[in-house]
Structure 1
Amino acid sequence: MMNTAYALIFGFVITVGLPLNAVSLWILLRHHSLKLPSAVFMVNLAISDLLLIVSLPMRVYYYAKGTWTFSNMTCIWVTMLFRNNIRSSSIFITFISVDRLLAVVYPLRSRHLRTSSKAWKGAALVWLIVLVVNVPESVGFLRHLSTLQNSTCFEFDAENDTSLLQNETLTMATDYFQLVLLFAMLAVNIVSTAMVLWTVQRHQNESALVKNKVNVMLIFIMNLMMFTVFFLPVSLVVFFENFRPALSCLASLNCCLDPLLYYFSFDGFWKRKEEVDMSLGRE
């Protein structure tokens, strides 16, 4: 019964998240200038979400059939795409928060920091770190799967599997790395939200005035919700292995909400690239 529910939830994410993120990516690339660092981070966030979504049909198949008929390497690839989304999304969302913080609180002093070249370098570094972390995880999971007699996937129980315990330094370390990373990113988002809220309310200088305060605060509220509702629970699975499938379903839903972040981040999400280029001098 639970497997059917998991399959339906992942199917829902595919049905809703795939068109929303594909259209959002198209709009970002066609209608918005990648000279804005926030647009660069949103493009990478959309790519991260799409990579997760293309892996979900395998999860739907597994939970619908109750067995895994593909290779162990396929299972590893699908698992890594899911974990990479949690890590890369949390960092890109934090980058968006910090970019908005600098634009609102330090609009003039931060102009040399908020450039597209620096944004692309930061995005490249994020993907590099994510891929490096994949190496020990993949090794540990592959050794674990090779010892199983039944056809299974996405179930890595360190407490009940001796083979995985033997590779604890490879697998558990990455779980704790993800948990520490998310708490650090959450702390940055909380501080950014507090500083922007304080600045918007106090209006201490002319350049801190924001035309659409509601949209600005919605960006930060959504970012905090992403962490507390979707990212942190699935990272705490290191302590609650039995809840892994349910929390994975919950975490995958973040793909359906990220397009709202793109919409609220721009005063005119549908406006043409030329209009965005003209607005660069006013930000």
Structure 2
Amino acid sequence: MVCNITNTTYTTNSTCRVDTLEGLAYCPVFLLGFFLNATALRAFFAKRESWTDTHIYMLNLAIADSTLILFLPLRIYNAFICLPVNHVCTFLIFTHYINMYASILTTTAISVQRYLVIRFPLQARSWRKKKEVAFAVCLILWGLILTISAIFHKDNHPEKLSTCYERCKNIHLSPVFIVLMVVCGYLAPLLIVVFCSSRIISILLKVDDKSEEKNRTIGIVTANMIVFIFCYTPIHVGFVVNYEPPVNWQFERLPVHVYLHVAEWIASTNCCFDSVSYSFLLKRFFRK
């Protein structure tokens, strides 16, 4: 499936391709993700009068994950019964990735907040308007992501799609868009998350304390870092390879084409893994 380009006129030669395996793969992600995120949101709003800055970041993460999850049924439907290629597809693609990057950047903000609190515990107690700052940071993150999406919205217009969730193989994304997604949307957050997580673990290991709370904190920080790397590395490698695939990697022969679909599925599973963070936070929340 390719798109023939003549000057500025695009002609999409696409056929409906049923992908039962993809549809079946997204079903458990949707069911588990919907249950876990709905439970988390219910718990958050049940105690909204006691929110801290951490809860605001976590709530923002839950909203991003929940929104992505809510649109997965359309992706599942498309895998079994192809959706027509139109502007709704453009909306669905951007909704998926907007919420993915909102999750990435919110996770990064949470890592920075955790590091500052553990690195400067005494100063952190005297910080004022922490909730207001957290709320402002979340708004800035959403504003930044939505602005970039608006600027590059033509990159996923219907004439550049071969199916509802798949771009034409011979029409590459804008190089600037690729750089923003890979460098600003992944590499920079990755470095921040790894640095903050490593420093938190190092600081806690030096503390002469064998309490369950300390071990649990180290465990959750380590798990979050590993999940971040596991979920988001494949898809961004895919973006780079998709932009300029090696000559001997042919989409219709399997490797790159299948890799991109698997990488997207792996990235989507982060909506379920984030529930580990929710569980840890909410357990302490209700215990208090």
TM range (shorter): 0.7 to 0.9
Are the aligned partners of 2:201 and 2:221 in contact in 1 as well (CA < 8 Å)? no
Please show how residues 123-138 of structure 1 align to structure 2 within 5 Å: 123-138=138-153
Q: Which residue in the other structure is 2:113 paired with?
A: 99
CA RMSD, 1 decimal: 2.4
Partner of 2:5: none
Question: After superposition, where does 1:169-208 map in structure 2 within 5 Å?
Answer: 171-181=174-184, 182-203=186-207
Equivalent of 1:146 in 120, 137, 159: 159
8 Å contact kept, 1:91–1:126: yes
TM-score, normalised with respect to structure 1: 0.82
Residues of 2 paired with 1:31 and 1:78: CA distance? 32
Equivalent residue number for residue 72 of structure 2: 56
TM-score between both structures, scaled by the size of structure 2: 0.80
Does the 8 Å contact 1:21/1:50 carry over to 2? yes
Conserved? CA contact 2:18–2:80, under 8 Å: no
Does the 8 Å CA contact 1:45/1:92 hold for their aligned counterparts? yes
**Counterpart amino acid of residue 222 in structure 2:** I
How far apart are 1:187 and its partner, in Å? 0.9
Q: Kindly indicate whether the alpha-carbon contact (under 8 Å) linking 1:219 and 1:265 is maintained by their aligned counterparts in 2.
A: no
Match of 1:110 among 99, 109, 124: 124
Equivalences, count? 255
Q: How does 1:10-49 map to 2 (within 5 A)?
A: 10-31=26-47, 33=49, 35-49=51-65
Distance 2:226 2:129 in 1: 25
Relative to 1, partners in 2 of residues 1:82 and 1:141: Cα closer, same or farther, differing over 3 Å?
same
Contact 1:200 1:209 (C-alpha < 8 Å) held by counterparts: no
- Partner residue of 1:72 out of 86, 89, 96: 86
Give yes or no for contact 1:55–1:78 (8 Å, CA) kept in 2. yes
The one-letter amino acid of 1:78's match is: L
The letter for the 1-side match of 2:241 is F
Specify the code of the residue in structure 1 equivalent to 2:118: V
Conserved 8 A contact 2:178-2:240: no
Rounded Cα–Cα distance in structure 2 between residues aligned with 1:230 and 1:239: 16
* Residue 231 (str. 1) matches residue 199 (str. 2): no
Amino acid in structure 2 at the alignment position of 1:201:
L
Structure 2 spans left out of the alignment, 5+ residues: 1-16, 243-256
Task: Identify the residue that residue 167 of structure 2 maps to in structure 1.
Answer: 156
How far apart in 1 are the matches of 2:34 and 2:237? Answer: 27
Q: Identity percentage over the alignment?
A: 22
User: Could you tell me whether the CA contact under 8 Å between 2:160 and 2:167 is conserved in 1?
Assistant: no
* Residue in 1 that maps onto 2:252: none
> Counterpart of 2:136?
121
TM-fit CA distance, 1:11: 1.3
SS in 2 for 1:68: coil
What amino acid is the match of 2:25? I
Cα offset for 1:267? 4.9
Residue 56 of structure 2 aligns with an amino acid whose one-letter code is V
Gaps of at least 5 residues in structure 1 are 276-283
Describe the shift of the 1:2–1:227 C-alpha distance in structure 2 as closer, same or farther (beyond 3 A).
Answer: farther
Letter in 2 for 1:125: I
Distance 1:209 1:123 in 2: 35
